[in-house]
Amino acid sequence: MSIQYSTEDQMADSYGVADSFPKDFGYGADESEIDESSTASDSKPRILLMGMRRSGKSSIQKVVFHKMSPNETLFLESTNKIYKDDISNSSFVNFQIWDFPGQVDFFDPTFDYEMIFRGTGALIYVIDAQDDYMEALTRLHVTVTKAYKANPDMNFEVFIHKVDGLSDDHKIETQRDIHQRANDDLADVGLEKLHLSFYLTSIYDHSIFEAFSKVVQKLIPQLPTLENLLNIFISNSGIEKAFLFDVVSKIYIATDSSPVDMQSYELCCDMIDVVIDVSCIYSLHADCNGTAYDKESMAIIKLNNTTVLYLKEVTKFLSLVCILREESFERKGLIDYNFHCFRKAIHEVFEVGAATHRTFSQQASSPNLKAVTHNGTPANAV
Ligand SMILES: Nc1nc2c(ncn2[C@@H]2O[C@H](COP(=O)(O)OP(=O)(O)OP(=O)(O)O)[C@@H](O)[C@H]2O)c(=O)[nH]1
């Protein structure tokens, strides 16, 4: 895997251009229709969203990357052509999402699926769990076998979606059934090597953000280093759990190696919302443009169960959100010193990556498209 980075000029001093909250605190231009031939911008790493009609693909993309409220998705119209969404203006992770219309006809000669799959990091196949999913499973099989032949390196992710309408038992049973059937179909054609990952998702809770976090993390080659840094940071600071968040999407790009529980993740997501809301409402600039999140951004929230939430800016796109006990927070000086070292290390990790990428780009004419591009650290890093 290799990685593409923004140039340092782009990284430097760019807080001013970040959009602000709420609606504007998104990813800039909305989706645009693509012409199916390859263009220069299409060389960005991409994540494909595929699945049956009305399975919820556009809703996922709108809710995660465009701050659309789940209820508004009821009014989304059906997608008729492939739409691409460039997630690169104000995010740490830098890729394109291609939202496909329900039925993709692999036999249509104008649809160059090999070209599309070759440049893809991950294929997300969305299955509506509230509907009869037999046809979706047949199409999943056709899609992943074609995609695997064109690009065996891509990640295959299955979102068992709309699980908000299912009881807990029904969720587990549906996941087991879909997992079993999909893998049996692959085994029947000798494709046991093709690994499918399954997630239970809904746009009505944080599960869709959690699932997207895991999909994106797999495309970040520095993930083990980030995890390691987080482990060192929390163990030396008396912190229980820490997430490194992409602020705009609330995708966490890394966490320490202790297990993630949904409640902690939700708390941290909510904290980001509170911080951005408050700084936007009380911003000195009436339009709040670019001022909702910057180098000074930090927040402490003390909960009534002796838990403290602590948020600090890491780069213009990333923030660290920690959960710790009140007694550990008494050593705030130590935590801040460790955070300073952690932040410095994060900046170094991505500076090294940027340098490696520059060397790589000079050597190779076409980049490896599996790994996502990063908007790295600002040049004025501490
Ligand atoms: N209950 C529930 N409904 C959802 C969820 N996600 C999407 N929906 C609804 O599903 C319907 C279809 O969603 P879309 O996002 O338009 O589906 P699509 O897959 O993009 O459809 P096409 O563009 O026709 O391929 C909408 O009414 C959404 O509100 C979910 O997590 N839970």
> Could you read off the pLDDT of 323-374 as tens digits, one per residue?
999 999 999 999 999 999 999 999 888 776 555 555 544 444 343 445 555 5
Looking at residue 382, what is its pLDDT?
Answer: 29
Any ligand 1 atom below 6 A from CB of 111: no
What letter represents residue 279's amino acid?
A: S
Q: Do 245 and 257 touch, CB atoms closer than 8 A?
A: no
Best of 33, 49, 53, 59 to mutate for ligand 1, by most ligand atoms within 8 A of CB?
A: 59
pTM of the model: 0.81
ipTM over 0.95: yes
What is the per-residue pLDDT for 35? 41
CA of 56 to the centre of ligand 1 (A): 3
Å from CA of 129 to ligand 1 middle? 11
Q: Is 131 in the pocket of ligand 1 (CB under 6 A)?
A: no
Q: State if residue 202 touches ligand 1 by the CB under 6 angstroms criterion.
A: yes
Whether 266 contacts 252, CB under 8 Å:
no
Tell me the pLDDT tens digit for each residue of 159-213: 999 999 899 999 999 999 999 999 999 999 999 899 999 999 999 999 999 999 9
Of 54, 74, 77, 79, best ligand 1 pocket probe by most atoms within 8 Å of the beta carbon: 54
Neighbours of 68 (CB within 10 A): 19
Q: Could you tell me the distance, in angstroms and rounded to a whole number, from the CA of residue 92 to the centre of ligand 1?
A: 27
CA of 263 from ligand 1 middle (Å) equals 25
Residues 6+ apart with CB under 8 A from 377: 11, 315, 346, 347, 350, 351
Q: What is the pLDDT of residues 134-165, one digit of tens each?
A: 999 999 999 999 899 999 999 999 999 999 98
What's the average model confidence in pLDDT over 233-250? 92
List pLDDT tens digits, range 10-44: 333 333 323 323 333 434 444 444 444 344 445 56
Compute the C-alpha angle 31/35/37, nearest 5°. 130
pLDDT at position 91: 61
CA gap 223, 197 in Å, rounded: 18
Gap between the Cα atoms of 333 and 301, Å rounded: 17
Ligand 1 binding pocket includes 22 (Cβ within 6 Å): no
